[in-house]
A and B are shown apart, each in its own frame.
Chain A
Amino acid sequence: MSGNSAFNPFEMARAQFDKSADLIGLDEGTRDFLRTPMREYQFSIPVRMDDGSTKVFAGFRVQHNDSRGPCKGGIRFHPQETIDTVRALSMWMTWKCAVADIPLGGGKGGVVCDPHNLSAREQESICRGWIRQLARDIGPTIDVPAPDVMTNAQHMLWMLDEYEAIQGGHYPGVITGKPVGMGGSLGRTQATGYGVIYTLREALKELEIRPSDTTASVQGFGNVSQYAIELYKQLGGTVVCVSSWDQEEMTTYAFKKKDGVDLDELRGITDNFGGIDKAKAKDLGYEVLPGDDWLIQDVDILIPSALENQITGENVESISKGVKIVAEGANGPTTPEADAVFHQRGVFCIPDFLANAGGVTCSYFEQVQSNMNYFWDMEEVLGKLDMKMTSAYMAVSGLAKKQDLYMRDAAYVVAINRVATACKNRGWV
């Protein structure tokens, strides 16, 4: 094993890109252009620490591509962040925005730090320092950051405040992830879960299956799952099994009810992070099974919305032959080996970055509302979300059908082609 062959996330992102570029037959110039970020900023943020000393933190911002609109992407506070990770993540953001067909490009940034070693005041100084270095290079029309690993709404508000202080005006559209009332959008909690079901609904339509004739099994009982179940039931579907994490026993359990789980009933016995109370569930008539059993239920639809790498080469064979659709609510729940089995079996897979694009779409809505300083009600947000998700789905599945592509490949092709076209139309390549 030589050092050169070591895992590099950026190389991996490029490899994924190359595969799709080959499918499209992308020309060399465009390929070279898209394989590398357009701009990268690296800078130092000096911070006066609580004990009076000064420490210097390394900051980054990578703007991968803004041919379709201002860059969009999170800010990570992470120890030993490497530029290659940030590059890879910014590239994925470009494809994600493109597949959802929102007029934004891809970016990512961060600061090398571990907030566990920092007081709130020190973190605030880092946030403000980050903005001071980049105030000219981001903005509502240039690049719009958002929360990511170890950053949250509080950090966004500090950054917003610093930006507005420098620019001398109000620019709520410079950053997303803000709380409602401070430039945030309604519908954020629902967006991802509902988004999954909007795409699922379209898939069912295409497969000419009535939702009310279907059953589903869901992994996880967090935000995404709960709202996915909510909407799926409104469509008439029946969820027969959900799995959830048991903090006390350090393992997962699956909760099964043949006639369908009752969402409100389960929510009543669930802690804030989706842990369902096992004993109470039993009392309510649920069958409590080992966590992995969510996968082997005889259902039509699987909705993995918990963690990465849940459906693997090892367990993919235990999936019921009756499963017709897998809607990936989580990021990367299916390993390549399992994916190959789906492909071969003809299981219809709605790939993660399409299925869970509801989140980024809602961020885009936050930006739009912030820029016009007028905020929609929930109905309007969700209505627009439905429209966006539906058309995004249609574009991908349309291509998949037309070119007989696997859905995951089709999604990449659609995304990359949109970006490449924008670059060409602008006369860049």
Chain B
Amino acid sequence: MSRFKDVQDKLLVSLNERAKELKCLYEVETILNQADKDLVQVFEEVVKAIEPGWQYPEICRAEIEYGDKTIRSGDFEPTPWLLEAEIKAHGNILGNLHVYYCEERPQEDHGPFLDEEVRLIKSLAGRLGNFLLFQQLRKMEESWQAIEDKESAPTNEGWRMAVKMVMGTDQRLYLQISRKMLNHLCSIGVESAQIMLQEVDQLENSEDVLGEVNVAGPRQDQDLGLLRSLVPFELAAEHLGSEEIILRVQEWIQEDRASFLIKALSDPRSSLSQVADVVRRSRHVLPDGADLAPTTTRSLHVNLCEHFLNDQLNFIRIAKDYVKLDHFFTLLDRIIIPQDSHGKLGGKGAGLLLAKWILESNSGEGSGVGEFKVPQTWYLVSDGILKFIHYNDLEDVHIQKFREIDDIRNGYPNIIQLFKNSTFPPDIVHGLSSALDDFGEIPLIVRSSSLLEDRLGTAFSGKYKSLFLPNQGSKQERLDALLDAIAEIYASVFGPDPLEYRRERGLLEFHEEMGILIQEVVGRKVGKYFLPSFAGVAFSRNEFRWSPRIERDDGLIRLVPGLGTRAVDRIADDYPALAVPGKPNLRVNVALDEVVKYAPKALDLINLESSTFETRDLKELMKECGGQYPGVENVFSVFDQDMLRKPVKLMLDPESDHLVGTFAGLFDDTPFVNQVGSILKVLEDKLGSPVDVEFAHDGQDFYLLQCRPQSYNEDELPAPIPKDVAEEKIIFSANRYVSNGWLPDVTHLVYVDPERYANLATKEELQGVGRAVSKLNKVLPKRQFILMGPGRWGSRGDLKLGVSITYADINNTSMLVEIAKQSGNYVPDLSFGTHFFQDLVEARIRYLPLYPDEEDVLFNTRFLLGSDNLLSEMVPEYAHLEDVVRVIDVASVSEGRVLRVLMNADLDEAVGILSDPEQSSMPDKQVADTSGFEPKQFWQWRLRMVEKVASKLDAEKFGVVALYLFGSVKNATSGPASDIDLLVHFRGEDCQRMALEEWLEGWGLCLSEMNYLRTGYRTDNLLDVHLVTDEDIENRTSFAVKIGAVTDAARHIPTGP
């Protein structure tokens, strides 16, 4: 009990002490705030107030030494029981604070003094230092004011006051500016300044030498005296106006104040938290971008870029003009920086910030950029992943990238699990927890922002994960979900696809780190769902022009209702809305049925109840909660009796109204399209390259979500156009309305001759051409043939304008070519594929218009009309159209060559040439930056495997007469997911047949697994086996036609060892 009391007493004593200290601080503060009193008077009060703050106030005395004055609390003699602290301002010692005990007292932490008392005296001294500095500044201000008030006084003396003030308050600073003034005078050619500077420098140099023998002291004083004097400024006054001197001095003072910032920022070894600290500090020291010299500011900005954004030179070159120190004051509050971090925000983070700053500085009236927002974002810097790995001892994963791709693929699921079951370092968890508090319970998207992503020059888009988080529930649940998502994104760095991609690009050695962007999802709550009004992606270059009036730099917007995922990706069974900012009034769909057919049918959203990301049928959703849909009047039209009308919100009846996502309100009644156009223009202009941006709209505000150099799919890159090709190898060339792309391996060509088509006599014949094409579309190898024909493919109404087909009749072609051949003195208009334009876009079918009568283009009529025609053999029922429809097997008429179509929109040129299949399809990888997609590796491996399987096949046992190969493996055009088409000539019993099928199935499954490990593509069974009998071969039914076929015949594979 007594022991408890003892403890209690001690606690009471120590609490009393703290109270005394606080009281003391408070008292002193109050005294110092009476700033208008005389300095000595203030100090007298202060020393008195200090005494009660100590443990033994009755024997405590305090003393302030300031200049030549000493102010004491009462009369006393110094004793050995002393605590002291320097009073400093700007690093200059202005005086001392002393506290004495007059008598001896028991030993404590520091003599008779407590730890707390040491801290107290330091705080007091610090406060006194600030007080003195403030006093000095005030005096300066007053005298300055006095000069300014005396307007009649000769203004050229104004500098003297300013300079003297510096001299009087900060010696070190004065030395600095005085030297800078001499430097400046030298630089403008003042000779006496040069002499002075030489003197100072020589002396300083000789000091260094002398310094080693330790005799430099007195001379140094004497000669720096020149710098300490007013001489340099008096000299300056002879050459410069007073105003300029003052300006310079002010600049140099600011520079000096910023020196801590410059020092920390310019040191690449500074950790990010150090940098963040100095930036935070500078907020108070350098308010609103204080007047630093432009060169200093620039170097600051460059350093900020290097530390936070991106150290690529071409990025910095652009970014430095837009980065501002004060951007970071608020930004820093939302950056999670682990200890000793040297990470960055990563590609996406940097890209978005730069775009935002560029737009903000160009959003003046007339620019059209208008109002825009960026969603609230938190950043976890890129080396967070390294800290995470280190914290969990997972360093082994770093060797992952050097493994074979199948090992990587095999190991990847384990890595995901491993990462998900690891813990995050506490500082990261803490940061993320603050982020969640800041966001509240709103859905989030966690985006990867790696160093490789979105760098200028690499298209690394979509390789890493981005995850939606509904972010609902208790704080712990939300935090767990967030950590889980980040772990998954971290794991994706070691995923097979990004690693494979990096290997192909030679980026494997690049030190990849993964920043994380945590962004609020733009949207509104609609019932139990959360979704934006609409979202999408906009490109500053238009690669999909449906009208000759649209130019390439008119741009393109793809947008969808709900989350933007469906606009970013191509979705086979749905269509985004398209708009062209440069031609805002042109619509891709004009006829009513087109408009409705190509309107979006589904949308992506977040279900808050089930906490899932969902795709919903648009019609059903609108029935469920149409009235609440954000911005419903901008997104939808009501289809009503042969007309689409914009809805009046009040009259809307989502139950019975047939709503179509036309975006008519948005396009016609809001500045949206023009705004996006302006944004693209400004960004392309300032970033110096085409861009694409992602955006979303919540019904009220427009949000910019992402900005990066325009990404192209690999088959949409501008193909280099070879110049040294022999004319006879060129089948056609074009120089108008060319878009980007390349078709590497066209094996067949279907050519409908324009003149002969026009001369067909009957409707039946004209329609027959369409039907023949439709049939060919089904039998020719998919995506390996092109269709060339007159005028408007798919023309409705007038058969003579073009071959009458629908999209389904041509959906397997790789390219649609429209030929505008002059007849009489007019050249027909082409359709640009408008009748099924959106189908072509989503299916990546290329379109090319040809104008064979123009100069400088080639049109190889000899090849097209002179080569063997396979029509009658392939579709005998249309043999009568042989003159008009020509099917050319490219390889068989050109000694095994393929047709390669190269299109380059930058040059507005395209060419179709006969090439050797082995020759690299993209001669100059640097120019095109194509992927490493090498079909070779896929078909060669498959062929090897087939030969292996065949060698193991006991033909007699299974009743196999012969084995054939056809399709993509035979044609050397396999992709990673292609199956192997085998044709087995079978002559045996049912039991043999079953045994054979079983045997082959085993192989097929095995090959599937191997292929998956190599490529990541899952297939059910890699072997697609077709059994044909003698009867089939005789009747030429089914696949038997492939054996000894006129074109694309199956290849015989020997069986047995």
Contacts and interface: CB of A to CB of B under 8 A. Distances in A.
The yes or no verdict on A and B being binding partners is: yes
Contacts of A273: 593, 596-597
Contacts of A141: none
B811 interface: yes
Interface of A is mostly: loop
Contact of B596 (A116, A272, A335): A272
Given A85-B798, A153-B641, A6 B763 contact: no
Given A5-B761, A152-B591, A153-B643, A251 B547 contact: no
A7 B590 contact: no
A115 B590 contact: yes
B216 to A, nearest CB: 79
Contacts of A121: 585
A153 B642 contact: yes
Contacts of A3: 759
Contacts of A250: 807-808, 811
Contacts of B807: 250
Given A152-B643, A153-B642, A79 B547 contact: no
A309 interface: yes
B1053 interface: no
A149 B596 contact: no
Given A79-B801, A117-B586, A6 B641 contact: no
B658 interface: yes
Contacts of B758: 6
B74 interface: no
Contact of B798 (A50, A78, A271, A272): A78
B597 A114 contact: no
Contacts of A81: 798
B927 interface: no
Contact of A114 (B759, B763, B834): B834
Interface string B547-573: 111000000000000000000000011
B588 interface: yes
A7 B796 contact: no
Nearest to B777: A250
A118 interface: yes
A116 B831 CA distance: 9
Nearest to B811: A250
Chain B: number of interface residues, binned into ranges: 35 or more
A85 B761 contact: no
Given A121-B585, A177-B642, A273-B597, A251 B798 contact: no
A127 to B, nearest CB: 13
Contacts of A78: 797-798
B641 A184 contact: yes
A226 to B, nearest CB: 15
A245 to B, nearest CB: 8
Nearest to B589: A116
B549 A117 contact: yes
B331 interface: no
A147 B593 CA distance: 13
Contact of A7 (B587, B596, B640, B763): B763
A390 B829 CA distance: 45
B792 A118 contact: no
A87 to B, nearest CB: 13
Nearest to B550: A117
A247 interface: yes
A122 interface: yes
B767 interface: yes
Contacts of A1: 756, 759-761, 883
Contact of A117 (B547, B643, B765, B766): B547
A149 B796 contact: yes
A150 B589 CA distance: 10
B320 interface: no
Most chain B CB inside 10 Å of its own CB: which residue of A3, A79, A115, A120: A79
Given A116-B590, A247-B573, A7 B797 contact: no
Interface string A167-198: 00000000001011000100010000000000
A248 interface: yes
B642 A118 contact: no
Given A3-B759, A122-B585, A271-B601, A116 B641 contact: no
B641 A118 contact: no
B1045 to A, nearest CB: 22
A154 interface: yes
B766 A7 contact: yes
Nearest to B668: A120
Contacts of A5: 759, 761
Contacts of B113: none
Interface in B797-832: 797-801, 807-808, 811, 828-829, 831-832
A268 to B, nearest CB: 11
Contact of B642 (A85, A117, A179, A247): A179
Given A80-B798, A179-B640, A271-B601, A116 B588 contact: yes
Given A121-B585, A147-B642, A272 B767 contact: no
B591 A82 contact: no
B476 interface: no
A180 B546 CA distance: 33
A283 interface: no
A50 B643 contact: no
Q: Point out which of B549, B640, B758 has the most chain A C-beta atoms below 10 A from its C-beta.
A: B549
Interface string B322-358: 0000000000000000000000000000000000000
B594 to A, nearest CB: 9
B549 A180 contact: no
A69 to B, nearest CB: 24
Contacts of B800: 7, 82
A7 B642 contact: no
B877 interface: yes
B762 interface: yes
B1006 interface: no
A153 B797 CA distance: 19
Contacts of A184: 641-642
A247 B596 CA distance: 13
Contacts of B796: 149
A80 B643 contact: no
A387 interface: no
B763 A117 contact: no
Interface in B250-289: none
A115 B591 contact: yes
Contacts of A82: 798, 800
B592 interface: yes
A119 B791 CA distance: 23
B764 interface: yes
A3 B546 CA distance: 32
Contacts of A335: 764
A116 B761 contact: no
Contact of A248 (B573, B585, B596, B771): B573
A44 B522 CA distance: 51
Interface string B768-803: 000100000000000000000001100011111100
B701 to A, nearest CB: 27
A12 B763 contact: yes
A76 interface: yes
A250 B883 CA distance: 29
A119 B808 contact: no
A314 B546 CA distance: 37
B759 A2 contact: yes
Contacts of B760: 1, 6-7
Contacts of A119: 583, 585-587
8 contacts: A6-B760, A80-B801, A116-B837, A121-B585, A153-B643, A184-B641, A251-B808, A271-B601
Interface of B: 546-549, 572-573, 583, 585-588, 590-593, 596-597, 601, 639-643, 658, 668, 756, 758-767, 771, 791-792, 796-801, 807-808, 811, 828-829, 831-832, 834, 837, 877, 883
Given A116-B588, A247-B573, 16 more contacts: A1-B759, A6-B761, A7-B800, A9-B798, A9-B799, A76-B797, A79-B801, A80-B791, A152-B592, A153-B641, A153-B642, A179-B642, A248-B572, A248-B573, A250-B811, A273-B597
